Each structure stands twice: as C-alpha cells, then as structure tokens.
Structure 1
Amino acid sequence: MRFVNPKPVFNQVLCSIGLSLAMLWFYQGLIPKILFQSPAEITIWQNMGFELAFAKTLVGFSGGCEMLWGVCFLKWNRSILLHGLNIMGLAGLLLLIVLTAPLQLTAAFNPVVMNIAMLMLSVVAIQLIWQEQA
C-alpha cells in the first residue's frame, strides 16, 4: 500500500488561504474605506459618536489598518496566532455592526456573509496547521 505525503497539499491549501485573506483584507481596506469611503462605513463611526469629518478620517485609517492586516497573511499565513486574532477580530467586527448598524445585516452582500466566510478560512487554516504539526 502506498501512502501519499499530505505536506504538499497542506502547503498549497495554506498558501491559497493566506493569499485569499490577504486579497480580501486589502480590498476591504482600499475600495470601501480609502478610495470610495462608503456611506455605510462612515455611518458606523458616526453611530459611535464621531462627527462627520473625523468619521471620514477614521474610515480611511481603518482602511489602512485592514490593508496592513492583509499583508500579514502574505508573510505569516502559518501563524495560529494570526488566524486566531483574525477569527476574534471578524467576530468582533460583526458584533460591532449588530450594535451600531443592524440594518446592514439585511442588505445583499452583507457583513455576515463576508465575515463568516473569512473567519472560516482561518478556522480551516488552523486545523491544517495543527494537522501538519501532528
């Protein structure tokens, strides 16, 4: 009986997950926060008590942070800590939307879809890393 070494498969899948998360975070930071400043993003900050001008600044800043976070997945895609923080952060961001802008949860392509999909990519990555280390 011939056994196949799963390591190359793990490597490919982990690289795909890291690249996917990097691209998604980069897009989420650049398009709706920096280039086009989505009104929904601005509203979230305003609902937390910030004036319009400062809310726009915070949207841009958060976009930059998201882009940097995406870069982390290119560099450290095998980090259980990074994926764990991603899971907690995405769950926290989803809770923030529930509390500050619950109507966004009823729109097409809403945060529930994106956050859970990205969160699950990190769950799968952690499972693969653990399996690889076993």
Structure 2
Amino acid sequence: MARISLAAIWFWHGLVPKLLFHHVDEQAMLVQAGLSIRLLPSLGVLEIVFALIILGSWRWRYIFPINILIMVLATFAVAHYSPEYIRAAFNPVTLNLSVISLSLAGWLSSPMLALASRCGRKPAKEQP
C-alpha cells in the first residue's frame, strides 16, 4: 500500500497541477527559484515517470530512501525559495512529511513481503 500510495501521489502531482492546469502556485515557486515556468510540463512528466519507476521497481526497496531524500530536498528548496508556502493551509511540509512516512513504512515492511523467490515451501514429491 505504501508503494502504491507514493506512486499515486507522484502521479497526481505531476499530472494535475503541472500538466493539466499549470497551477499558478507551481509557476510561482519555479519563478522564485530562478527557473523558467516553461519547465513546469517537464517537471510534471518527470514526476509521472518517477511514479512509474516506483511501481515498476516493486522488488527494489532502495526507491524508498531515494524518495525520502527527494522530499527532504524539496522541503528545503520550498523553505528557502518560497517560504510563504510553508505557512499555507495545504503546505509542502505536511505533504512531504506524509510522503516520507509512507516511504519509511515501505522501507521497513519491504523485507517482509511475500515473494516467490523467498518461498520456504518445498516442492511436493512426485507420485509414481
């Protein structure tokens, strides 16, 4: 569930505010960081690709610490370049902390996932 939730979050945040609606807050944060608003669709595509990587790397648990690092960097970037968004009602701090929590849950639970490669059952003996 953690992996699917993370992928859904990345997919949504890439698709809706960046590709479909070009949200004014997304544009403002890019400008405040000294970047062109023309990057917005590309960032949306990157977020969707990352969502697909999260889903496609089902057995690779190191996607979780990578995701945590991205969230920490994103939080510091917003705090530095767009601090007014930290005080907003729906802010990057609460979103990013939630995503970090999901990543930690995924990291901690991934060694316990049932996988065919870790199956402890022995094959049944063939009957003559």
- Taking structure 1 as the reference length, the TM-score comes to 0.78
Q: Which amino acid aligns with 1:80?
A: R
Q: 5+ unaligned residues in a row in structure 2: which ranges?
A: 115-128
Alignment: residue pair count: 114
Report deviation, 1:30: 0.6
- Taking structure 2 as the reference length, the TM-score comes to 0.82
Report deviation, 1:131: 4.9
Q: Superposition pairs for residues 7-26 of structure 1, below 5 Å?
A: 16-26=1-11
- Flag the structure with larger Rg: 2
Which string of whole-angstrom CA distances, capped at 9 and with x for unpartnered residues, describes residues 42-94 of structure 1?
112211223xxxx2221111111001111112111342221111000011001
Where 2:104 maps in the other structure, the secondary structure is: helix
Q: 5+ unaligned residues in a row in structure 1: which ranges?
A: 1-15
Identity percentage of aligned residues:
26
Give distance in 1, aligned partners of 2:60 and 2:12. Answer: 22
Q: Superposition pairs for residues 1-134 of structure 1, below 5 Å?
A: 16-50=1-35, 55-131=36-112
Give distance in 2, aligned partners of 1:131 and 1:75. Answer: 19
Displacement over 3 Å in runs of 4+: 130-133
Give distance in 2, aligned partners of 1:91 and 1:78. Answer: 24
- The answer to whether the Cα contact below 8 Å between 1:80 and 1:129 also exists between their aligned partners in 2 is yes
Give distance in 1, aligned partners of 2:52 and 2:59. Answer: 13
Give distance in 2, aligned partners of 1:49 and 1:108. Answer: 24
Give distance in 2, aligned partners of 1:93 and 1:65. Answer: 14
